Chain A
Amino acid sequence: NAGVTQTPKFQVLKTGQSMTLQCAQDMNHEYMSWYRQDPGMGLRLIHYSVGAGITDQGEVPNGYNVSRSTTEDFPLRLLSAAPSQTSVYFCASSYWGGNTEAFFGQGTRLTVV
């Protein structure tokens, strides 16, 4: 059981480049989300999805796009990377309902130069 898989693990981008961070889960979870972790800031929610075809913005959505065409995948797109997007990105998934917890991927360390 792979759980939540994020690719790539590390990435360096130049300002203005675009890229997609991949996230896949094999637990048939309805809920998926993306967080960014910056030093001294904890984790902050970027976007989330409560099911295929449904997405919504979190606390810090600017500069990021998401889509959810399947239950398993929830990619995060940076359309025009900026140095302020240098961060560690975590994808998470969970079942609906209170008796569960979020499972996190291993993280993607992104540097924008």
Chain B
Amino acid sequence: AQKVTQAQTEISVVEKEDVTLDCVYETRDTTYYLFWYKQPPSGELVFLIRRNSFDEQNEISGRYSWNFQKSTSSFNFTITASQVVDSAVYFCALSEGYSGGGADGLTFGKGTHLIIQP
């Protein structure tokens, strides 16, 4: 069965520091998709990134970057020069099989609560 582990329950840093959120996954499928979602204090879920199992290229989007390593089954998320607006709960999630869209069954980690102090 699939599993996603986010070992960091809560992280607190001072604004402008870099911070990395860890995500380790387990799956028996060779085709799978990994996601990161952000949940700000307002409660909605905001999609950040999707990565399929055949694409190990790291990705950068502004201050956000993602490091996907199949050898260690990890999909870590780094925020560079953190800002107070980055304060949120961040979820890593896994979807197995080709469908990969997620609404037929995402497995979520328990989330990391990120606190950015001014």
Contacts and interface: CB of A to CB of B under 8 A. Distances in A.
Interface residues of B, number: 29
Contacts of B104: 31, 33, 48, 50, 94
| Chain B residues touching A, majority SS | loop
Q: Count chain A CB atoms within 10 A of each CB in B6, B103, B108, B111 and give the residue with the most.
A: B103
B68 interface: no
Band of interface residues on A: 20 to 34
| Chain A residues touching B, majority SS | strand
A31 B103 contact: yes
A101 B43 contact: no
5 contacts: A45-B106, A95-B101, A98-B98, A100-B100, A102-B47
Interface of A: 29, 31-33, 35, 40-45, 48, 50, 58, 88, 90, 92-104, 106-107
